[in-house]
Amino acid sequence: MNRRTFLLAGAALAATTGSACSGSAGLEYWNLFGGGDGSRMTEMVGAIGTRLDAVTLAWGTPYYTKLAMAAAGGRAPDLAILHLSRMPGFAPLGLLDPFDGDLLAAHGLTSDRFPEAVWSRARHNGRTYAVPLDTHPLVLFYNTELCGKAGLLENGRLKPIRGPEQLLDAFGKAGLALAAARDVNPWRLFWTLYRQQNGEGPLDDAKALTALRLLAKVGATTRFTDNNAAVALFGSGQAGFFWNGEWELPTFQEQHMPFDVAPFPQVYERPAVHADSHAFVLPHQRNRDPQRTERTVAAIAELIENSLTWARGGHIPAYQPVATSPAYLKLLPQANYRSEAAEVELDPAVWFAGAASDLQSAAGATIGSVLGGTMSPEGALDALKATLVRLQNTPRPS
Amino acid sequence: MKRSGFWFVAPFLVLYVAFLIVPMVIGLGASVTDDGITGHARFVGAANYVELFGDPAVWSSLWHTLIFTVTSTPVIVLVGLGMALLANRMAPERWLYRLAFFAPYLLPVSVVVLIWNWLYQPGFGLINDALTRLGLHEVGWLSTDGMAMTSIVITTVWWTAGFGFLLYLAALQEIPRQLYEASALDGATPFQQLRRITLPLLSRTHQLVIVLQVLASLKVFDQIYLLSGQGGIPGVRSIVQYIYESGFTRFRIGYASAISYVFFALIAVVALVHFRLVKR
């Protein structure tokens, strides 16, 4: 190699690395979707005009740790997914940048096009910090063959279940599988039953105890398993019911088993169901470029208009023009539980709650022990209150 | 002292100051503030220290760390010693044993955990599959707290015993061959040779291996964090893991720094006790 080729090679190297560093025109987009959700999100990203460079990180705590650190450093990606339930832990800390209302409106992203229950949670201090993509509530999966034999069907659909007696009766007849060990599911069930009684934030003893006592009885009708085993039990026809989120839908569709999905039964005074919502946010950037932000909002609008693809995974589209479209109404069994979108109850709006939070893991373990029969409802109530006191006394991070 | 010596040490010194001394000073400062991740820290005095002494999670995670240390250290040391004695004997295939015993230590922790996670799986995992084929019951390797700690210790032994093995093997080769020849002439059995010659002459190595192993075990984090999976297993959480969670998932850098300093003090005590024992 003589001197000239050496210099040329060096210049070429500098040019290529230089262009790689300055970044192509794509917007950076972080999300936490693996499995089927991951491939559907990739499909949506591929289908839109704006170029997004999507990065998928491990779900849960690792994701939120990385997102928070990137935002704290002020050099976060242009766009990210956040569970709406995590907003109280992110927006007040300055880890998210608010959306410009006019910019959202210019792309058709206005409050009247989203369910009130989730849009209100996307706001903080009078500003919009998130654009909801979906709601993902708990549902009741049921095996149509087993429930038919047990006489629980009417015209091929599950007869409406009302009140605790009918619920226990149905589970007793057809068998129930649910994630009770090492899972957040027990907390979600509890919060649903608690909010169905209009239970207010922490913590109405009588109403909490009512919910816990019912869960103890529910637990007695089922085997104490983790989610993998519960999915296997329902998927192999050993249980007539499966109580978890709609995100398990694709698993059972792939198994070609006879099943359908019903909304979460109304057990107490009013319909309510625990849910969360995947939402688009602008993580904090110290030097925010208005042009990039505008392109980001355009990309959000495009993705949300494509959320019928997303709905195939079981999630209910938050964007009403999609959620009320004929194509979605024909999408079964998803459309069977779309009414739940109006009944969703997110985690309490406190910084220590939300997806993959301390509250969820601690309460999930406590209530799981009630389902497993190793803790009394009274003992669990004391433990839940102790957890809440501990979390409330923890200084709020700044 | 010649000045040239300083310049040889300088590169190390710069890194040492930049990445150890400075962060330690910053950490000490942060431990008396309510520092989060957004840089608005207020002075809170000893509040973090008061809080941590009343925080059950600090004590439980310290306890798990202690249990891990006292169960894993003796096993790792003994297995390392056993493997070294074996590899020192097998003359023709010695290279094979050395490679086999030391190879796991070269693997990154993520690979080790990936392998063992599969081995421990219920239903289709290699271990449980073998157990059921033998007509035995499956074991929930990672599903109960007590069993999870055992599984973590097994994984750690497999992974890190090679380090002690290497130190022991080196020490064994330092022992003069004449000692064995002379004792054999005097009629010593191999067991007597082991007890009277080999083990006493390894005493300095024992100390080294045990101290290094105790220190390594006290700061256990990676394999527990990774094997626990999403959500973690509260019954095996180590103190370093709790520090990590406090700082980076709960955004309480000040509190995490305070726990780090208390833990640092505990390790310093362990080191001092060792120092005293050695001096005697």
Contact A134, A315 (CB under 8 A): yes
Distances A338 to A323, A324, B67, B120 between C-alpha atoms, Å: 8, 10, 50, 40
B34 contacts chain A (CB < 8 A): yes
pLDDT value at residue A17: 45
- Average pLDDT value over all residues in chain A: 91
Over range A99-106, report the average pLDDT.
96
Q: What's the number of domains chain B is made of?
A: 1
Q: Does B230 touch chain A (CB under 8 A)?
A: yes
Is B37 within the bounds of a domain?
no
Q: How confident is the model at residue A23 (pLDDT cuts 50, 70, 90)?
A: very low
Question: A144-198: per-residue pLDDT in tens?
Answer: 999 999 999 999 999 999 999 999 999 999 999 999 887 899 999 999 999 999 9
ipTM summary value: 0.76
For chain B, give percent helix, strand, coil, nearest 5: 80, 0, 20
Rounded to whole angstroms, the Cα distance separating A288 from A270 reads 44
Distance in angstroms (rounded) separating the CA atoms of residues A46 and A40: 10
Residue B210 falls within a domain, yes or no? Answer: yes
CB-defined contacts A:B, below 8 A:
53
Give the model confidence (pLDDT) of B102-130 as tens digits. 999 999 999 999 999 889 887 678 898 89
Question: pLDDT by residue (tens digit) across B137-194?
Answer: 878 788 777 788 999 999 999 999 999 999 999 999 889 989 999 998 998 888 898 8
Query: Is B186 exposed, middle or buried, given 0-12, 13-18 or 19+ CB atoms closer than 10 A?
Result: exposed
Residue A217: pLDDT band with limits 50, 70, 90: very high
Q: Smallest Cβ distance to B251: which of A68, A184, A365?
A: A68
Of 3.90.260.10, 3.40.50.720, 3.40.640.10, 3.40.190.10, the CATH number of A22-133+277-340 is 3.40.190.10
Backbone angles phi, psi at B112, to 5 degrees: -60, -45
Contacts of A58 in chain B (CB under 8 A): 230
**Given an 8 Å threshold on Cβ–Cβ distance, is B231 in contact with A182?**
yes
Q: Which residues pair with B255 in a beta bridge?
A: none
pLDDT score for A178:
93
Domain housing B109 = 55-279
Closest residue on chain A to B143 (Cα)? A182
Give dist(CA A214, CA A173) in Å, integer. 17
Give me the mean pLDDT over the B90-112 stretch.
Answer: 87
pTM of the shown model: 0.84
Q: What length is written for chain B?
A: 280
Is B259 part of a structural domain of the chain?
yes
Residue A393 neighbours by CB under 8 Å, 6+ apart: none
Query: Is residue B2 in a domain?
Result: no
Helix (H) or strand (E) run with residue B9 in it: helix B3-16
Burial (CB < 10 A; 0-12, 13-18, 19+), residue A217, is middle
Query: Tell me: the pLDDT tens digits for A125-134?
Result: 999 999 999 9
User: Over 90: is that where the pLDDT of B94 sits?
Assistant: no
Q: What is the CATH number of the domain that holds B160?
A: 1.10.3720.10
> Is B147 a domain residue?
yes
Tokens standing for residue A374: 């190793």
Which range has the worst mean pLDDT, A2-16, A301-315, B123-137, B206-220? A2-16
Number of Cβ within a 10 Å radius of residue A34: 13
Beta strand A344-345 pairing with A273-276 = parallel
Q: Which helix (H) or strand (E) holds B169?
A: helix B145-174
Per cent of chain A over pLDDT 90 is 81
- The reply to whether omega before A333 is within 30° of 0 (cis) is yes
Region A344-361: what's the mean pLDDT?
Answer: 91
Residue B115 lies in a domain: yes
Rounded distance between C-alpha atoms, residue B210 and residue B113, angstroms: 24
Output the six-digit token pair for A309: 């693809």
B231 touches chain A (CB under 8 A): yes
User: What does the radius of gyration of chain B's CA atoms come to, in whole angstroms?
Assistant: 23
Beta-sheet strands, E only, within chain A: 27-31, 52-56, 79-83, 96-97, 123-124, 127-128, 131-132, 134-143, 153-154, 157-158, 176-178, 241-245, 259-263, 273-276, 278-283, 316-317, 344-345
The answer to whether the CB atoms of A68 and B41 lie below 8 A apart is: no
Q: SS3 for B237?
A: coil
pLDDT of B65 over the 50 cut: yes
Residue range(s) occupied by CATH 3.40.190.10 in chain A: 22-133+277-340, 137-275+357-393
pLDDT at A328: 97
Whether B13 maps to a domain, the answer reads no
Count of alpha carbons within 13 Å of A204, Cβ hemisphere only? 15
Mean of pLDDT values over B49-57: 91
Confidence of residue A104 (pLDDT cuts 50, 70, 90): very high
Q: What is the DSSP string of B21-52?
A: IHHHHHHHHHTTB---SSS---B-TTHHHHHH
- Residue range B5-51, pLDDT digits in tens: 888 999 999 999 999 999 999 999 999 999 888 877 889 999 999 99
Structure tokens, A291: 């042009």
Nearest CA in chain B to A74: B38
Q: Do B231 and A361 touch (CB under 8 A)?
A: yes
Residue of B nearest to A353 (CA): B250
- Residue A107 has what DSSP assignment? T
Tell me the average pLDDT across B197-201.
Answer: 91
Query: Which are the contacts of B74, defined by CB distance < 8 A and separation ≥ 6?
Result: none
CATH 2.40.50.840 applies to domain A137-275+357-393: no
The fraction of chain B above a pLDDT of 70, given in percent, is 97
Do B38 and A94 lie within an 8 Å CB cutoff? yes
Phi/psi for B255 (5° steps) reads -65, -45
Asked whether residue A201 carries a pLDDT value surpassing 90, the answer given is no
Give the bridge partners for A126, in sequence order. none
Is B133 inside a domain boundary?
yes
Eight-state DSSP code of residue B248: I
